[in-house]
Structure formats: C-alpha cells, structure tokens
Chain A
Amino acid sequence: MFEMKKNRPEISRKVNISYPDSDRKRYLNQMLISDDMEEIRFDDLKFLKVSSRMYKAIDPDHFREYDAVIIEADDDISTFRLINKIRSHQEKKIYLIPVFLLGLEDEEHVLVHISDGLLTTLSNLEGASYKTRKIQSRM
C-alpha cells in the first residue's frame, strides 16, 4: 500500500501522496520531504519518519513542528546517537517528543526500551497515535 516512488521529489517539490480510504474517518497520508525524511499524517497527528543513518545531518529543531518521530533503525549505533541527539535537546517539546523505531526485529532490544515503542509497519499507526496522545497529555 505504501510503496515509495523510485524518483523521490526534492524538498522544493513536496508531493502529497493521498491514499483513498473513504470508509475510514482516520486517514494516513505521506509526504516525502527528502530521501531520508518523510512526513506522515495520521489521526490529526504529524509524524516525521527519519533515517537513523542521517543522525549527523539531522537538526532536532526540525522536530518542533511534529507530534512524534519515527526512526528507521538502519543500525544500532546511529539509532542510539539519534535518540541521544533528541533527548539531549534543551527544549522540552523536543526532548520529550515521542520516538518510535521502525525496522528493528528484536522486541527486547535495548533501543526499544529507551524509545517509546517499536513499529513493524507504517500501515497502521493506531498504537503510536494512542501513545503519542497519552504522552502529550502528560507533558
């Protein structure tokens, strides 16, 4: 359902990919921002999916306008560093932002424990959405 386009648009050519699903009130759509960043809207929440291998280039200030971050865990170290980068930010909205991991197979991996949960697919963000709202209500 969420196959990526091979030629992804540049930031200046943001493209909205809509997924017709008229039966559901909640909808999910994705917007490719760059090769390593993707905005996902689900249930009135804005998720930002980022690739962990970009941890050096990513500016956490960018997360300010999102409700949660989904890290595509390419490898343990870069994922760990990216989580550290977020949690060591000085701004409350950023250091407490919910962080979900995508692509980890081991549910008991330490990175799962220091994040807010593991996603196996992007097709259903119900759980992440519920958890994000819960965290936001206590922030």
Chain B
Amino acid sequence: MKLKTLIIDDDPLITILLRKMVEEHESLELAATAENGEAAIQLLRATDIDLVFLDIYMPDMTGFEVLDQVERQERTQIIIVSGSDSHGIEAFEYGVADYLVKPFSRDRFNTAVGKVLTKAKKRSGSSNEISKLNEKIVQYIHSRGIFEFTPFPFREAKLGYIYPMLTSNLDFKKESQALEILDAAEKEGYLTSSFMDSFYCCNSCKSNYLLIRESCPKCGSTCLNAEEQVHHFACGYVGPISDFYKKNSKTLLNKSNSLECPKCNKSLQHIGVDYDKPSTMFSCSSCKNRFQNPVVLAKCTDCQTNTPVENLVKTEIKSYELTHLGREAAMGKVAIDIQEKDELADLMDRSQFARAVEREIERVKHYLVQSSLISLQFTNFQQLQKNIGITHRNSLIRELYQLLLSQLDRSCEITFLTLNTAGIFAPEMDLKRAETVSDTVSQEIADLIYDNFDGFRIDINKVVLPIEENQNVKALLDLMIVGETQKV
C-alpha cells in the first residue's frame, strides 16, 4: 500500500527535507509539491491525494483556509507542519491526523506517517485475497450469529465438503485452498478450531473423488481375474480352485460342488476338514502375471493421477469459532491483514545466495582462491511429489536441506534455487573436491529417498562450476538450474 502524498509548504528547505523523507518511506509516494495555498487548492481538486503535509503560514493564505476551500475526500488525511504549536486545538477541530512542529526528527515523522497508514489500512479494508476472504468469513459468521462455523458434505464440492461463504468464493480447482485460508485465519487469531472429520484425498489436486482400484503390480492394468486358492490338507497341494475342478463336470455348480486334487486325485468334500481357502489369487488379463497381492491405487477423477493408497495424505476438516479479535474484525474495528506466506521461503532465498556468490567473484579477483558452485537437480522429483503430496514434499525439501547442512562444511551456502534444484556455494573448495562432495551428498540423498519412499529412485543431475573473476552471477545461477556446464 502506497499513499499518494502532497507537500504544501512555502519554505524550500522544509519542502526538500519532507520530499527526501517521503521518497525514502516505503509506504509513501510523492504526488506533488505546492508552494502556496492557491496551487495547493488546484492540486487537491485535480488529484486523488491520500496524505497532505500542510504548512499553516503561507504567503497567500493559511493552511486552514486551504482546507476550508477544498471539499476534502474521505481518504485524504492531513498532517500539519508548523513552526508553532499554538494551533493544536484548531487542527484537532479540522480532524487532522497529526501535528509536526518544525524542526522534527525522522522518528517523529515516521510516527505521524504510521498513524496515517493505520487509518488508511482500516479504511481500505483487507489488502490481499486471503485477507479479503477471511474478512468475508468473519463477517458472515458474525452477521448470522453462527456459534460454530461448520462445513457440510456436498457432492459438488471438490473436497466433498463446503464451507458456507468461503467455498462460494473459490473456483472448483482452488476449493482446497479453503483449508489453508482458514488455517491462516486461525494462526492470526481470528478463529479457533476443533476437529470435525478426516479423510484421504488426491495428493496432487486435493479432490475427494477417488476411484479405489486393484491393479497388477507388473503392468498396472486393472483388468484382473480373482480366483480363490485351495490348500489340500492330505497331500499339501496348494493351487487355484480351477485346478481342483473335475474335468468331466460340465456345469459351474457341479464344478464347485465336486473338487478333486490334481496331485493325489482325492475328492475334496468338506472345507475345514479336507481343505481350506487360504487366500485369493489374481491373474492379469493384460500381461498374464499371476500374483497374490494386487497394488491398490486411488485414481483421482479430476486430475487422473494414480496414487498407491498407502501414499495418500490425510486431510483434516475442522469447524471454527470466532475469537474476540475475529468479532472485532467482523465489525470493522480491526483490519484483517494476513500475508501470504511461502512455506519454503527461508530455504529458497535466491537473492542472499546470489549476493554470496557475487562477493566471492570479487574475492577471487584479488586472492588466489578456488571456489565452486554445485547444483543438484532432482529430475524426477515431480513424479515423487505426485505420490507424496505437497505437504510431504515440503517436509522432504526441509529434510534434504538439513541433510546437506550436516554433510557440508559450515562455510557452504545452501539454497533451493527451484523446488527440484539445490544450489551449493562452496567457498575455497576446488572443482575436484566439489565433485567428490557432490557425489557423496547425492548418494546420501538417493539413499534417504529410497529408504523412506518405497524404493523410489531419485535421478540426480550434478553440475559443478568454478567461480572465476568477471563472471555474471545471474548467468551462473541460470546455468545451475538448466544444468549446462559450459563456461560462463
């Protein structure tokens, strides 16, 4: 949020000082300056201004006379700037935001601007999408006097549940964001939650409509024939029930009523006495593979992803109550301001990594040091992510980061350049050692993933680059991502 600011002062020194402070303030934007009342009135009439620094004594009129002549917009706030503090009461009557007595410090300036910003934020309401949605939710709960804001099961909803008001504001594809939005509101203290239900949904798109199917472990086909297995106690023969059908029995009823052991030719009369049925045998119609344990896959009806059921991530649905803060927000007394947070932002600080590399490029100009950059690209990471879901993916990336930290020298700088590329800046590590190190950590990572994700083999593409003088940092980082090892 940036406030359009107008400075009205006949003193050029004060104008320069204020201009500098305004330009350096991240929430202010200088719209114009005026040296007298007449120019100020014209500017205020012609431009949408959020904040005015207004001098009281000017050659043609006073600051208050300027205010008298202009129909002030509701959004425009005034900070009086005066050499005297004798107009405090009058300023108060005009509803000014603050009163600065010249000379004033930067801290005093910031305090005054802070007051204006708080009011402006309150007036403009919530700033981003998450905040706006949360504002709608708390207003809805409050206006309806809802004690417990509960989701309802609904076939048309992607999650299988809808939250009144909230789900209406989300496209079908983004309906699962409802949970994150409510989570954010809870973290900020507008809502409190209690458990309501938990279920499994698609790891990729969070759809609740999954087709649970048995499939062939070899070819993935779902065209399977199931047959009971028979264990003949007398001779110990175990085989599919069709092996036990008498060859001369013509009807299926006859077949199932008269079993004969293919090994000892004895007739099997009573289950539990002559034989039992220990399991079911499957045969795949596509690849003819025979097996006992089919892979149970959940096929998402929305994104078509097939996920082994044991890899599905549980989703929790909660009901919510308004807190005191939430009620205040619903009544407009508090502005909801929830910043969208990237969960992995701390691991993906590319700018800090670039600065470290840039400093090293400068260093190698002056000192005889050999430093390297290592990039580890997990080329089939997407595939793994599909299986484990975004929440587990983020945990895995954190885990990998910790592993790299433990394996590398303390002087190394590590960041994830993308979700599937880890970048390592290794100061004073020559290319040969960097290659050895990259081999070692790659193996560690591969083992970790293999052990924890059902034997998943991660493909790691290693890139090792020397840091040399006059290199371009941006080009270097791009190379680490695309994986080309040509000289920069």
Contacts and interface: CB of A to CB of B under 8 A. Distances in A.
A116 B152 CA distance: 14
B125 to A, nearest CB: 9
A88 B169 contact: yes
Contacts of B140: 87, 96
B153 to A, nearest CB: 7
A114 B168 CA distance: 10
Task: Classify chain B: how many residues form its interface, as a range.
Answer: 10 to 19
Q: Quick one: which of B139, B143, B154 has the most chain A CB within 10 A?
A: B143
Interface in A101-139: 110, 113-114, 116, 134-135, 138-139
B144 A116 contact: yes
Interface in B198-251: none
Given A77-B156, A80-B156, A110-B162, A135 B143 contact: yes
A113 B140 CA distance: 13
B164 interface: yes
A88 B140 CA distance: 12
A134 B146 CA distance: 12
A63 B182 CA distance: 28
Contacts of A83: 168
A126 B139 CA distance: 24
B165 A87 contact: yes
Interface residues of A, number: 19
A95 B29 CA distance: 33
B312 to A, nearest CB: 25
A139 B144 contact: no
A105 to B, nearest CB: 18
B143 A139 contact: yes
A138 B169 contact: no
Contacts of B165: 87, 95, 114
A77 B162 CA distance: 14
A138 B168 contact: no
A14 to B, nearest CB: 31
Nearest to B163: A114
B168 A88 contact: yes
A84 interface: yes
Q: Quick one: which of A76, A114, A116 has the most chain B CB within 10 A?
A: A114
B299 interface: no
Contacts of B142: 138
Interface string B268-298: 0000000000000000000000000000000
B328 to A, nearest CB: 13
B255 interface: no
A139 B168 contact: no
B152 A114 contact: yes
Given A77-B156, A87-B165, A88-B169, A135 B144 contact: yes
Contacts of B152: 110, 113-114
Interface string B148-181: 0000111010000010110111000000000000
B139 A134 contact: no
B164 A114 contact: yes
Contact of A96 (B139, B153, B154, B169): B139
B197 to A, nearest CB: 15
Contacts of A64: none
Interface in A72-96: 76-77, 80, 83-84, 86-88, 92, 95-96
A87 B169 contact: yes
Contacts of B139: 92, 96, 139
Contacts of A135: 143-144
A84 B143 contact: no
B145 interface: yes
Given A92-B139, A95-B136, A138 B154 contact: no
Contacts of A86: 168
A92 B135 CA distance: 10
Nearest to B142: A138
Contacts of B169: 87-88
Contacts of A113: 152, 164
Contacts of A77: 156
A139 B144 CA distance: 9
Q: Which 3 A-B pairs have the closest CB atoms?
A: A87-B168, A84-B168, A114-B164
Interface of A: 76-77, 80, 83-84, 86-88, 92, 95-96, 110, 113-114, 116, 134-135, 138-139
15 contacts: A77-B156, A80-B154, A84-B167, A88-B168, A95-B136, A95-B165, A96-B143, A110-B153, A114-B162, A114-B164, A114-B168, A116-B144, A134-B145, A138-B143, A138-B145
Given A87-B140, A87-B164, 11 more contacts: A76-B156, A83-B168, A87-B165, A87-B168, A110-B154, A114-B164, A114-B168, A135-B143, A138-B143, A139-B139, A139-B143
